[in-house]
Structure 1
């Protein structure tokens, strides 16, 4: 009987040691240093004018992104063919949606624009022209002695009632904005300014005859 009791106590003791050893092997939770960023409209709408009844009714199609930008992480280009993904600095919304939001706000600063409709377009709102934007650059750039932010995109403006009727086509490449190395908040501010500058270029390409 005592032998059984001794065996039971020994078994419990060994089982407890195994539990303690297993617990000590579980890694401690690590802090999450990920930061999330959004593009910001220029002036947060301060320059937006009131609607005018005879202005252009603009449709902004879904912004197209190259696959390497559509990863969720902020991208910094090193040289011509190498990019870095900063996994601890991520976009808080899909990058295409952020670019579309900033472009729409910038288009509304033009007194020639009555309203901007973002894809998917409502069936009950008429449009005079549609804008297609294909982003080719929206990233930080290092090298050549200074960090900077760069944005650019081919833009096509079509008649809303006839997609084959091209009213304007151009490649908009905004000036490089000063970057800030590893300061991601400063980089995002510069990228926001680059996208807003792209919007200003699109305004210059809009048809002048209104409706």
Structure 2
């Protein structure tokens, strides 16, 4: 019985030690507005409201998703977005638009602005990255002027490369890609203002 008792205690002790082993610590990442080299001319007070952003369900999760092949992805449990991706995309686009159109008031809460706002809709079709650090962003967007103006629609396809290894560089590459999308939206907004 001593041998069986000793074996039982050993198994229990090993189980407790295995349970106390630490798992890797999660790291959290965020997108950031780009630094604009040359903003457009200041405009009279213009209000821009960004409607809720839509993203594919595949990436609508806290974990960062990377594409391994056409039919396979990697979902990293320990590399996570600090806030929902659709919220980050709207926040970064708003900051980019505010930099690109000096004097503009840009809000991600469309219900808080009046009828005199330009409404921006953003539908993210692809938000992909590969293991080699390449990012690809495909976005369908529209700018609807206040009152009776004609809606301007467009599609932005942006490919970029991370400047280094890791998710930090990948988040920066996505941020630069969003800045390019913001530039396309600004061009449409200026066209809408001239109507």
Alignment coverage as a number of residue pairs: 190
Give the CA RMSD over aligned residues.
Answer: 3.3
Counterpart residue number, 2:86 = 96
Q: Secondary structure at the match of 2:135?
A: strand
Match in the other structure for 2:29:
37
Rounded Cα–Cα distance in structure 1 between residues aligned with 2:37 and 2:111: 25
Task: Indicate the structure (1 or 2) with the bigger Cα radius of gyration.
Answer: 1
Q: How does 1:109-148 map to 2 (within 5 A)?
A: 109-111=99-101, 114-122=104-112, 125-142=114-131, 146-148=132-134
Q: Report Cα offsets for 1:142-170 as digits up to 9, x if no partner.
A: 4xxx53111120001223457xx652011
With structure 2 as the length reference, what TM-score do the two structures score? 0.80
Cα separation, 2, equivalents of 1:111 and 1:132: 17
Q: Does 1:168 align with 2:152?
A: yes
**1:73 has 2:59 as partner:** no
* 8 Å Cα contact 1:55/1:210 also seen in 2: no
1:25 Cα offset (Å): 2.0
User: TM-score, normalising length from structure 1?
Assistant: 0.75
Query: Runs in 1 of length 4+ with deviation above 6 angstroms?
Result: 14-20, 45-51
Where do 5+ consecutive residues of structure 1 fail to align? 1-13
Q: Which moved more, 1:177-186 or 1:200-209?
A: 177-186
8 Å Cα contact 1:57-1:116 kept in structure 2 = yes
**Contact 2:133–2:165, Cα closer than 8 Å, also in 1:** no
